[in-house]
Amino acid sequence: MYKRILAIGDIHGEWDKFVSLYRQIDFQPGRDLLVFLGDYIDRGSAPLHVLKWLFAHKNNEHIIILRGNHEQMMLDYYREGGCNNLWLWNGGDVTRDALDEEDSTLKGDFLSFIKELPLSYRINANGKHFFFCHAGVDPDIPLELQDEETLLWIREEFYDYYDGEDIIIAGHTNVEYIEQGKTVPIIRNNMILMDTGSYMPHGLVSCVDVLSGRIWQSDGGL
């Protein structure tokens, strides 16, 4: 059994912040499990640095890489021939422009990689049940029946009303919008909320060991 189960929230192209965080957590495959909660791209200045790192580690059985709504918007944009501007309106122009400078084969590899990313991950540890996803869950639907739209996009219905026993670990909604002035992940009895506004001027990329509750944050924030 893993000694630590580490969750990392939204990165949004903030490569330097991610690197500073990753160095702090001292991830050791086998001893640790590392779960990424999605939204690796867009808004920040170095989305492909993040994407290339994840791509290089995609076959590590001790690293779980989940899909976020920004990765989904990217897939939708290219599937629809560049006609869906929702992605660009949400910071996707940074990622698109960076991809346009890459070899077309590499772009295809990235899209195939993202398409295969799972939407959720479950694990039992220390007598507790943990469910990881990007955005959250519908409190009225069993976890195994949650749909793609919910797992990628839900907000208030999840963090205001979920009362299940499984511990849900999610990002997507900046913790400052949930609890005013908050700059660290929110840890409750049945949820851990991980988005600490990475791409904002004083934002951070955060990690939590879900077994102990210990928090690490990138340098360069408040």
For the record, the structure tokens of 157 come out as 């219905």
Look at residue 221 in the predicted model and tell me its pLDDT: 43
Q: How confident is the model at residue 94 (pLDDT cuts 50, 70, 90)?
A: very high
Tokens of 200: 């904002």
Name which of 13, 8, 143 is nearest 74 in CA terms: 13
* Type of residue at 56: A
- pLDDT > 60? residue 81: yes
User: How much of the chain is helix, strand and coil, in % rounded to 5?
Assistant: 35, 20, 45
Q: How confident is the model at residue 220 (pLDDT cuts 50, 70, 90)?
A: low
- Digit-coded pLDDT (tens) for 171-192: 999 999 999 999 999 999 999 9
Sorted by sequence, the CB contacts under 8 Å of residue 105 that are 6+ apart come out as none
Domains and CATH numbers, the chain: 4-217 (3.60.21.10)
Q: What is the pLDDT of residue 84?
A: 81
Q: Across the beta sheet with 32-36, what order do the strands follow?
A: 63-65, 32-36, 4-8, 206-209, 215-217
On whether the CB atoms of residues 39 and 66 are closer than 8 A, the answer is no
pLDDT tens digits for 118-143?
A: 999 999 999 999 999 999 999 999 99
| Residue 37: partners with Cβ closer than 8 Å, 6 or more residues away | 7, 8, 9, 10, 66, 68, 132, 133, 134, 169, 170, 171, 172, 194
Residue in 15, 8, 9, 66 with CA at minimum distance from that of residue 34: 8
Residue 93 is predicted with a pLDDT of 96
Of 199, 201, 156, the closest CA to residue 40 belongs to: 199
Which are the contacts of 156, defined by CB distance < 8 A and separation ≥ 6? none
Average pLDDT, the chain: 96
Average pLDDT on 38-51 reads 98
- pTM for this one? 0.96
Task: Give the tens place of pLDDT for each residue, 163-174.
Answer: 999 999 999 999
